[in-house]
Chains A and B, each alone.
Chain A
């Protein structure tokens, strides 16, 4: 009989759980379900992924234990200060967990500390026993699962890594192809966005598998430096691809292909390079030659164009060359990885300058929400007589609150159904089946069947919540021990605790702001425009080489991170608020915001200092007027995202462009004309391209924003 991969993984989890229980019970340890929890949570699709998660869980537990001792020692018999300290720690862990790297470590450090502290109580009499028991049972669960996963049908991530890296490179190639098609008018911006998303997803999957494969596959571990170099370089290529795509927004198809006649040929060669990289990754013996791909610009034709178009073309060509250079280095990384050439010298690390501390407002909001949930639960525990569940309401508010804070798009109410169904299933087994069992053989069989069924039926990643609730609530309600007792109250209390918890979390999610998608989207968009306004006002004021100003650093951080946060909210937007009930229009708005970010970045980098001062002085009035106009627009957009009308803005932009081009001609043609050397000419074109590109991106945004009915988004509604 051939078992499916899902069946094998479910069998491994079920077997590990039964063994963990058998050891814990034979050692007469209290609360063996803690070992069961460890097995349930670290079981992932490959040994490496499981080992990494297990290490994070263990390390989180080892940090949570001394932290719990510290809090209990600092605030004995001081319930308010104790809770203040505990909630601040959990809030801090929630904030830190907002970074994808080591997220699970911070989650464990936060909620396990809360479990130990609340279980021991402010008196802390049993704190030491509880903390040690928790640590040793977590260690037991992890050890057992690791052994079972290593010995039984071991799945090493190295096998999946090969497929994943191929997929990643194929996605990058498809993304480049789509940008080329967009330039020729054969693909829409939405198609390119789709390819970009696929590329990003493949990149994330590759990163996760590389980390796992480094832990469980010797060949990958042995060449981990070469893999890291490949990862860094492929990320750089992805960035170059995004920048190249961003530079296309202001280009007309005709001009670019006329002025850069070899673009199609160069594009074919670049795609072939991606194919070569794929082939080399798949077969170490595959040999391909590497030669630079030239993108020649027809200078005569380019000079005939108006200055702004010249600038746009020069910027786009520069982006393309960066992309070509990036793929060439990526090719060398792969050749080094396959042992065909010596590893190229790694680029010199940038000097680690002083970095301003930037607080992420969204992550801070999540931390405040978790702290609010814990406080509401704590006050209810103290002031509501005979609150069902008592301390367990406070204990469970921490892990559930933390997970919700990390997934703010998930409505709390959606948790109620899986929670109640899990209680029902666990309750039925606890009441009707468990009392019939008298030996570990029967109990082990029950644990095995239940665990197998849950992990098998909820194997898909999007069903992770159902799997976690099903296993955890069953193990908690069954409360298996050597002196087993049965009480209907266990089930009824749990059945009451779940709605109470959901109610607490529903209140806490309103703190510090509304959880409604459209409100969050508008709030983030307003912040984006405020930061853009601040950065634009600061251009030129930032002295080079000085320590970064904290406010400036915050605005740069916002501009870099907000488009991604906005994108996350578009996926959960209620259909009744979207034109035609489809998310296309709002996705277009976010795409334009992403392009605007790239253009703003260009503007910040454009170096006016290198140009001759007389030229800057001669153009000062035009640049100042432009700045004032755009600052005013951002101010209006931060109050109303649909404040500008695309047609009038575009007409104004065209008028300003003509005026500026006339002015440039006047300056460059007059008798005492300013002479620019080649380098200054390139700088000047880059500066013009940055201004023009930025205004063009703003006009695109204005167009896509008109599709949204913003007044109805501002209306209040019930969640």
Chain B
């Protein structure tokens, strides 16, 4: 039963699990890109905006699969 998708309730407002996973995914992607900028690792990417988008999608899928159960 635990692996069933379930909505998040915040003060009586129901939010879809994908929305929460996406929000966390974006936050994780932003944190990662900040770190990559900080250590000048971003120079190894040909097109950083696409990397940022891809990271957000990957994190959303990982968080949604492993933690939130979308």
Contact = CB atoms under 8 A, between A and B. Distances in A.
Interface of A: 492, 510, 514, 715-719
A354 to B, nearest CB: 43
Contacts of B40: 715
Contacts of B43: 715-717
B48 interface: yes
A514 B40 CA distance: 18
A717 B48 contact: yes
A716 B33 contact: no
A717 B41 CA distance: 8
B48 A719 contact: yes
B27 interface: no
Nearest to B49: A510
7 contacts: A715-B40, A715-B43, A716-B42, A716-B48, A717-B37, A718-B52, A719-B52
A539 B44 CA distance: 43
Interface string B47-63: 11101100000000000
B47 A716 contact: yes
Interface in B4-61: 13, 33-34, 36-37, 40, 42-49, 51-52
Q: Which of A492, A716, A717, A718 has the most CB of B within 10 A?
A: A718
Classify the interface of chain B: helix, strand, loop or mixed: helix
A493 to B, nearest CB: 12
B13 to A, nearest CB: 6
Q: Which of B43, B46, B51 has the most CB of A within 10 A?
A: B43
Contacts of A492: 13
B45 to A, nearest CB: 6
Nearest to B51: A718
Given A492-B13, A715-B43, A718-B52, 18 more contacts: A510-B49, A514-B49, A715-B40, A715-B42, A716-B42, A716-B43, A716-B44, A716-B45, A716-B46, A716-B48, A717-B37, A717-B43, A717-B48, A718-B42, A718-B48, A719-B48, A719-B49, A719-B52
Contacts of A510: 49
Contacts of B45: 716
B39 to A, nearest CB: 11
Contacts of A719: 48-49, 52
A274 to B, nearest CB: 50
A-B pairs, top 9 by smallest CB distance, nearest first, are A718-B33, A715-B43, A717-B42, A718-B48, A510-B49, A718-B42, A718-B37, A716-B48, A717-B37
Nearest to B46: A716
Contacts of A716: 42-48
Contacts of B46: 716
A717 B37 CA distance: 6
B43 to A, nearest CB: 4
Nearest to B45: A716
Nearest to B47: A716
Contacts of B34: 718
A93 to B, nearest CB: 27
Nearest to B35: A718
B61 to A, nearest CB: 18
A716 B52 CA distance: 13
Contacts of A717: 37, 42-43, 48
